[in-house]
Chain A
């Protein structure tokens, strides 16, 4: 029989997964809205943000209660700390989706311009990062999270390339400056989403391995006990 505490952890995990689903959907919708200039999707992203914000507060409240009432240790303590941080990152993923949606609404008023950047490809890479970071949390697998960290470099390069290309476009074709600027800002929003996915992956590694890999600290050798304990928690 599982203790009330462990049931509480399961509930917290389920809530975070629901929130992850909402944030992931928000990013996908915003990207799709950009590609198709779809204002209806933009409104869906804006409306969805309220639900994400409510979920963030509920998760924080439950995590706070568990910390105060159950005094968790070891893998459970790391799990709750990771959940609170992932929670915050997911809320910001939702914010970035809103920023993209607002940018699309702004772009809708402008004539369409054929820009030499592949935002759709970047959006696909970023969505994959968010999805895989959440999968690593669901599976409790540091290896999956590690793969997300490596994907971040690819997205960073895409953003840098988009920046260079779009600045050149603005110089060469001043008439599409506003469109190019919108695209540049969307690329920046996507790169931020990728950073949040990276943070989520780092938090999963912390939960599973007990290792802090933030700020290029480098992966540590997994501890057999902690790795196993996190696997058991799934």
Chain B
């Protein structure tokens, strides 16, 4: 099951440039939260701070409090342990090109020392079913490489790989920006179903997508969280004029 996410006074920097300023936000378990905002507003940095990916960039650092369920992300928990509980899907599908479809999904589990064949088979099948890819690949699981799939299938494979390790949170950084409308529709449908099991945070430039998949939406601008509310409120009657101007295309 998913867990809630609490962020308090989160600040992040790239060298001396501050990318996030005093972000406070609480994201509900088993719901999808969309993060929107113009390029450079800090939305990707924000999600990368949730699983401590931000600190992997040289001279980048973050301060503040992030709680994923009972885990304190920046106090006493290793980055590896954090990332085990938080799956991430990126803009561009990135399956391991030399691995089969099966091995792509099983990679995370194997890396964690899980090698029981029968159980692995079950988890791979279940993960591919959850990611709505099973029917399309079940006959070629071990024959075809992940890279041989279409873009949309590759992204669903990456989702299967992320959920195979049974995380509690799934971060998605513009997961559909490289996909056609049909593949996008499949991923969005998937997000809707995956919410039952995971807490989802999605970064998107596509406001229609945010309104379709997320119950809550946060609008970022210049490293600040300007507004956070129910998605329908944000897209119909936002409280802050900057949000209104952005979503109606008056800037950004």
Contact = CB atoms under 8 A, between A and B. Distances in A.
A42 B36 CA distance: 56
A224 B249 contact: no
Contacts of B208: 71
B245 interface: yes
B235 interface: yes
B22 interface: no
Contact of A73 (B239, B242, B248): B248
Contact of B238 (A5, A71, A74): A74
B241 A74 contact: no
Interface string A39-83: 000000000000000000000000000000001111111100000
B81 to A, nearest CB: 40
B207 interface: yes
Nearest to A226: B237
Q: Among the interface residues B237, B238, B245, B250, which one has the most CB atoms of the partner chain A within 10 A?
A: B237
Interface in A190-227: 210, 223-226
A228 interface: yes
B240 interface: yes
B236 interface: yes
A3 interface: yes
A73 B237 CA distance: 9
Contacts of B241: 224-225, 228-229
Contacts of A5: 249
A73 B235 contact: yes
A156 B127 CA distance: 65
Interface in B109-130: none
B211 to A, nearest CB: 8
Given A223-B237, A226-B237, A74 B244 contact: yes
B247 interface: yes
A71 B235 CA distance: 11
A140 to B, nearest CB: 14
Interface string B215-252: 00000000000000000000111111111110111100
Contacts of B248: 72-76, 229
Chain B interface residue bracket vs A: 10 to 19
Contacts of A223: 237-239
Contacts of B249: 3, 5-6
A5 B238 CA distance: 20
B240 A225 contact: yes
A75 B239 CA distance: 11
Interface string B68-88: 000000000000000000000
A230 B240 CA distance: 13
Contacts of B238: 74, 223, 225-226
A77 to B, nearest CB: 7
B193 to A, nearest CB: 24
A73 B240 contact: no
B214 to A, nearest CB: 14
Interface string A2-41: 0101100000000000000000000000000000000000
A147 B250 CA distance: 31
B210 to A, nearest CB: 10
A218 B235 CA distance: 23
Nearest to A5: B249
A229 B239 contact: no
Nearest to A70: B249
Contacts of A73: 207, 211, 235-236, 247-248
Given A73-B235, A74-B237, A74-B247, 5 more contacts: A74-B235, A74-B244, A223-B238, A226-B237, A229-B244
5 pairs of A and B residues whose beta carbons are closest in the complex: A210-B237, A225-B241, A73-B247, A229-B244, A225-B244
Interface of B: 207-208, 211, 235-245, 247-250
21 contacts: A5-B249, A6-B249, A71-B207, A73-B236, A73-B248, A74-B235, A74-B237, A74-B243, A75-B248, A76-B248, A78-B237, A210-B236, A210-B237, A223-B237, A223-B239, A224-B239, A225-B242, A226-B237, A226-B238, A228-B244, A229-B245
